[in-house]
Amino acid sequence: MGHHRPATRSKNKRSRPDDNADTTSEILGKILLNGEATEDDINQLYMILKPVCQGCRVNTKDNPNCFCGLIPPPNGSRKSGLWQKTSEIVNALGPDPSEDLRESFDAPAGLKNLGATCYANSILQCLFMNKSFRNGVFSIEPDVLKEQPVLDNLARLFAQLHSSNKAFVDPAPFIQSLELDNGVQQDGHEFLTLLLSLLERCLSQSKDAKARTIVQDLFRGGVSHTTRCSNCGNESEASSKIEDFYELELNVKGLKSLDESLDDLLSIEELEGDNQYLCEACVTRVNATRSIKLRSLPAVLNFQLKRCVFLPNTTMKKKITSAFYFPGELNMAQRLSEHSHKDLIYDLSAVLIHKGSAADSGHYTAHIKDENMGDWWEFDDEQVSKLGQQPFGGSASTREVKTAKNEPVDQSSSAKETMVHVDENNTDSGQLHLSDSNHNGHVKTFSSSDAYMLMYVRRQSKSGEATAGQSCETKIGINGPVYQQWTGSSLPSHLSEEVEKSNAMYLKSCEEYKSKKESELNCITERRQEVRSVLSEAPVQSLLKPYFWISTDWLRHWADSIIPANIDNTTIQCLHGKVPVSMTSYMKRLSAEAWTMLFSKYDGGPRLSKDDYCIDCIFELARTKARADSYRDQRSLMKELAEAALARECFDGRLFYISKTWLQQWLRRKNIESPCEADSGPTASIRCPHGELMPDLGPSAKRILVPENLWHFIHENAVVVKPDDDVGCSAFSSDSEPCALCSIELKEAVSSEDTLREFKLKQRQTHEKLAMNKNMALYQDSRYYLLPSSWLSKWRSYINASGKNVVSVELENLDSVVDMLMCKEVFHSFFHH
């Protein structure tokens, strides 16, 4: 004989609701019969005898001893509340300000992108990283700053970049003072030009000579547009006029290097043929030459690379993405109109990058050299990354690349070695070339397909004499403490105090967040331990031990809330202040130990103990159950009579009319234990406005005869539901006559409908093509009339509608509709002739 396997599938299997209902019905019947409820009856009605559940996936409603599913398993979590993941609880506290903490002042700070302000951020970082310009801004007098919002916000921004404890600074106040749209990206070159012009005007109010001319001293150079007569050699009067420039715009299309672009800029143009020059000295049109001459160069020399070209065929801009070579150092001595005998060396200090293939969109970043340490940094809005000793981080990732034979890297020789930096997107952001030069060393030449602007700074001479670009390097003398940081610059007191205050507030917010986070996590840990502890003590181990009832809803919220509310058992109380049987599925049976733990901490109530079952509610429920059983039995008998009536079976005795539709719906209802709203109005649809029987002509007035006992059952239940409903409960016996007035009205209506139907048929037959919206042939000798198309559409709908689609609205008079089409002058003339 084999052994039977244990029925593991039936472990903790829930009992069927029907079984519980049958048991409850039997117990209530016995209580009503005996007139008393025993302790065993109470235990069964309140389901106290059910076993304590273990391992249920969800909480069982019909077992007050089940505490499963109130909390997730040991390694589980929930989407919200006490048991959500710790990371989500921390996220609910908001962003951690310490994540923006500046790790070290060895690195520059970034600038927050306000939407589409990367172009402004890149330019601002280029200006800030220029020590001379930075010191010049810091030397502006407080009185001038108060009168010039742009200068004031720029100084504050530079001070934050200089000494803020944050890894990136918010430039919003400065951007707002310029009235820029954060959502619209602008051209970086245009922004720099406009910004320098604005700063030059604002700084003119300063009494500090160094601050007043800082823009001119650093960025302004001079050029002239020279026209020379090839016949007499005289230059035009305008040739002597020197124009200021803040950057030189260089062509890139068809050119490979900075040297080629400079040659193109300074090249001589021949004016011949139709383009001859009218020489003032020769007093005739002659051949001439035209060229740009560099008269003076600024300390900071900016080259604007014209990567965007206009396409006339498409009226669109296109970006030139060819590689462009530029040197790490540039000798401009031979480029001046009056050649300098001394070298005029400029060192590459910044490269503005425009990423993206489109000319009118993309992203701006800046690669800038730190003047003090010589390291290059990449500024990408909030992110600032160290590149090392090369502008494109060549030391980070290098590989050998063969240089094309026809692509010279330097004027003196070809490239010997190339190092290419590969960025995260596997695109060449820049190349480094080492070339022999005329300076007994190597000139580093770089190439980039995204370089948009190049910034060079004049090198200090060997004798130690500072160039114009470094004329502002002297320290700022101020009274009071000086805030010194990685830049080697110092802040004046009015700025350092503001930054220190801002830093103190920021560090305070970091500490507050840290404290709040620790407090929250400790609270969560303590609450989880408390819930597990209480639920482990919750089950009542013996019938002899005391217990208390508690609302399941409150218990569930308590087990899942970080900060629970006071105990609330009012939802499971009856009118007598006790616990009714009807609330058994909405409460749990709690041990005295667990109740004490909860009540001592959360107070509330009311306190509902073992003896607080409601005997009054038990007897009321028993009587209600008995009435329901009686109603169900009676309805079952009446249902048979109703089915027979609908089957047109003959009945003896007195008969009554009721609505056929109502009776059909009454039969469809199931599991009815007492009269409900649907039991009202059995004769409402067959009673006319005059209070008599409606003629049996309309679909809603269909009626049927039922026996007297079925009518009395239906009528009594309808009165119970709506005691004052005389209209819906009117009695019409089989000998009731239909309303005479309603009969006449219905007959007239039927006759009118027949007449209208004939009229529509005649219209359709007479104007068949017009009614069917078919094309009609037009003949020359025939007469035709104009009709409004809107009226014609309504006419078709009117005569073609039938059945439920009949249009009840009468058509407008055609004459009045046609009159509306005529203008007032024609209408007046037509009717007066």
Q: Is 389 helix (H, G, I), strand (E, B) or coil?
A: coil
Which of 363, 494, 557, 767 is an active site residue? Answer: 363
201: which residues sit within 8 A by CB, 6+ positions away? none
Q: How are beta strands 248-251 and 300-306 bridged, if at all? A: parallel
Query: What distances in angstroms separate CA 784 from CA 639, 776, 788, one per listed residue?
Result: 68, 12, 13
Q: What is the DSSP letter of 238?
A: G
Given the residues 118, 308, 472, 614, select the one marked as catalytic: 118
Helix (H), strand (E), coil (C) string for 102-159: CCCCCCCCEECCCCCCHHHHHHHHHHHCCHHHHHHHHCCCHHHHHHCHHHHHHHHHHH
- Asked if residue 340 lies in contact with residue 485, where contact means CB atoms within 8 angstroms, the answer is no
Radius of gyration of the chain (CA): 48
Active site residue 202: no
Tokens of 652: 């003896």
Residue 15, helix vs strand vs coil: coil
The answer to whether residues 556 and 550 touch, using CB atoms and an 8 Å cutoff, is no
CA distance readout (Å), 658 to 346, 649, 654, 696, 811? 107, 15, 14, 12, 40
Helices 118-128 and 188-203 cross at an angle (nearest 10°) of 50
Q: In what order do the strands lie in the sheet with 703-707?
A: 703-707, 655-659, 732-733
CA gap 507, 97 in Å, rounded: 9
Q: Classify strands 324-327 and 316-319 as parallel, antiparallel or unpaired.
A: unpaired
CA distances 422 to 25, 320, 350, 431, Å, are: 82, 20, 19, 9
The Cα 823–Cα 411 span in angstroms is 85
Question: What's phi and psi for 422, nearest 5 deg?
Answer: -105, 120
**What sign does the CA torsion over 49, 51, 53, 58 have?**
negative
DSSP assignment of 588-628? EEEEHHHHHHHHHHH-EE--EETT-B-HHHHHHHHHHHHHH
Residue 118 known to be catalytic:
yes
Residue 325: which of 430, 436, 196, 199 has the closest Cα? 430
Contact 665/682 with Cβ under 8 angstroms?
Answer: no
Give, rounded to a whole angstrom, the gap between the first and last alpha carbons of the chain.
121
For residue 470 the two structure tokens come to: 């470094």
In sequence order, what E strands does 308-427 have?
308-311, 316-319, 324-327, 329-331, 345-355, 363-369, 376-380, 383-388, 415-422
Tokens linked to 149:
């919002």
Q: Which tokens belong to 265?
A: 């800029």
Tell me the H-state helices in 552-689. 552-560, 592-602, 615-646, 660-668
DSSP 690-702: TSSBPPTTSGGG-
Q: At what angle do helices 592-602 and 493-537 cross, to 10 degrees?
A: 150
> How big is the CA angle at 425 (ends 421 and 429), to the nearest 5 degrees?
35
Active site residues: 118, 363
